[in-house]
Homo-oligomer: A and B are copies of this chain.
Amino acid sequence: MPDQPRESRGSHAGNRFDRRRARTRSALISAARALLAEGAAAEASIQEIADRADVGFGSFYNHFESKSALFDTAVMDALDEYGQLIDAVAGGVEDPAEVFSASVRMTIRMMETHPELAQVLRRRGIEQLHADAGLAPRALRDIEKGVATGRFSVEDPRIALSAVGGSILGLLQLESVRPDISGPDAAEQLAALILRMLGLPPGEAREVARRPLPLEPRG
Contact = CB atoms under 8 A, between A and B. Distances in A.
Interface in A164-181: 164-171, 173-174, 177-178, 181
A73 interface: no
Contacts of A126: 122-123, 125-126, 169-170, 173
The quantity of this chain's copies bound in the complex is: 2
Chain A interface, >50% SS class:
helix
B173 A129 contact: yes
Contact of A158 (B174, B194, B199): B174
A162 interface: yes
Interface of A: 122-123, 125-127, 129-130, 153-156, 158-171, 173-174, 177-178, 181, 186, 189-190, 193-194, 196-197, 199, 201-202
